[in-house]
Chains A and B, each alone.
Chain A
């Protein structure tokens, strides 16, 4: 009986802790929204972070994008040929990567690479009192460190996604050459005919929100890190887990909404 009540109280504690964390993250996001439109605008810092984040993730998303398209086409080709539908393969590959695979996989890789990086960087600044030093020097660390990074993440992820989509479609073309010897012209025509405006906008548009999630979660975990180096490590790992989870949940909601607008 005692064990059951102990288990219950532990469960209540962890649920309460989770809800408290969600509340804090929400409050942190509101603080970001309050600050993002107020001057001084840190364009130089935002540009610097966009460069860094873009360069940091470019190699891994390049390889991933190309392989997604290649493998998707290779896997789908025998299945579609069973139904005599090989001709729709370019359309299927391009629509899959534009609407879902490209945005979500890029966002998850971005979360793994960037959210943990922001969490560790800000966490280390917190535990070594650099954030306090900034604050006491009359410089708002939230604006300088958090707002700039979250804006940079939100702006750079859609760009990276477009790049990944392009590479994935190219990967699909390579698979088509290998299996069917399809010409580039025919492949491009098939892809262009298949993709509509209503496929690109929601697909790439939602990565703006994914970028925001990656930035805000990493910054939240790092900015509130404590307990020395242990806290920095925790901020880094938990930010990846939470950001990935939130990306998937947000994706589900956004897919439902965009399907209502662009069925």
Chain B
């Protein structure tokens, strides 16, 4: 029987009069890779931020491994977050720190590793994203693709159980997009993580996902396999994926 990792139950969120999420419910099981599609402004990032309590929903509940994220104590939330990785759209690398310091930061702050252990983990994470040579660079010296890879390395360095990706391939060229997508898939296989991936990119989803969800106007428009989704005759879904399918 599948075990629930994330349960989103009747979540709604509005900013002033603009409803972004409207009664959204979703289940993600352990080890599953769920892709969330949707037009810009349909609440995909808001949904991700509600999961980790960067935003608080107006209504509804979010559970991670059975714990209600929005009612547990701060100490419990901190413990929970130690098992969550989050790759931001902009990678959100700390500007004032080198790549080494960026990667070491969550390890030093949250765990009791020795200096040698931290160094070894940093090198291993950089090896996984093939950027060992960038260890002493500052974020300003990195290209967009490199920043995404370093962001990914920082997110997985603590070996989280749950990984959230906010548009991991946006703004990248097709080759780097495929590289990042394959890298995400390989990391998922190696670290056995559960993942929720927000993307517009069908090719990225095809490489990474087990299941897909489409958000439209704050509601779930479709939930099921990617194959059925791309073959859908629904006008909205058809329009949404047509351009990608033609390119294929």
Contact = CB atoms under 8 A, between A and B. Distances in A.
A129 interface: yes
A254 B84 CA distance: 48
Contact of B86 (A130, A133, A139): A133
Contacts of B49: 132
Given A137-B106, A138-B106, A130 B94 contact: yes
Which of the four size classes fits the interface of chain A? 10 to 19
Contacts of A136: 52, 54, 81, 84, 86
A229 B95 CA distance: 15
A138 B54 contact: no
A124 interface: yes
Contact of B92 (A132, A138, A139, A140): A132
Nearest to A124: B95
Contacts of B86: 133, 136-137
Among B52, B89, B109, the one with the most A-chain Cβ atoms within 10 Å of its Cβ is B109
Contacts of A125: 94-95
A135 interface: yes
Contacts of B81: 135-138
Contact of A139 (B89, B93, B109): B109
A138 B82 contact: yes
Nearest to A137: B106
A128 interface: yes
A132 B78 contact: no
Contacts of B109: 137-139
Interface in B9-57: 49, 52, 54
Interface string B41-75: 00000000100101000000000000000000000
A128 B92 contact: yes
Given A125-B95, A129-B92, A133-B88, A138 B78 contact: yes
Contacts of A137: 81, 86, 105-106, 109-110, 158
B78 to A, nearest CB: 5
Given A136-B54, A136-B81, A138-B79, A128 B110 contact: no
A138 B81 CA distance: 5
Interface string A112-147: 000000000000110011101111111110000000
B90 interface: yes
Contacts of B106: 137-139
Contacts of A140: 78
Nearest to A144: B109
B54 A139 contact: no
Interface in B161-200: none
A137 B82 CA distance: 6
Interface string A30-64: 00000000000000000000000000000000000
Interface string B97-110: 00000000110011
Contacts of B82: 138
A125 B88 CA distance: 13
B88 A129 contact: yes
Nearest to A132: B54
B118 to A, nearest CB: 15
A139 B102 CA distance: 13
A132 B105 CA distance: 14
A124 B81 CA distance: 24
Nearest to A127: B90
Contacts of B88: 129, 132-133
Q: What 5 A-B pairs are tightest by C-beta distance, nearest first?
A: A133-B92, A138-B81, A129-B92, A136-B86, A137-B106
Interface of B: 49, 52, 54, 78-79, 81-82, 84, 86, 88-90, 92-95, 105-106, 109-110, 158
28 contacts: A125-B95, A128-B90, A128-B95, A129-B90, A129-B92, A130-B92, A130-B93, A130-B94, A130-B95, A132-B49, A132-B54, A135-B81, A136-B52, A136-B54, A136-B84, A136-B86, A137-B105, A137-B106, A137-B110, A137-B158, A138-B81, A138-B82, A138-B109, A138-B110, A139-B106, A139-B109, A139-B110, A140-B78
Interface of A: 124-125, 128-130, 132-140
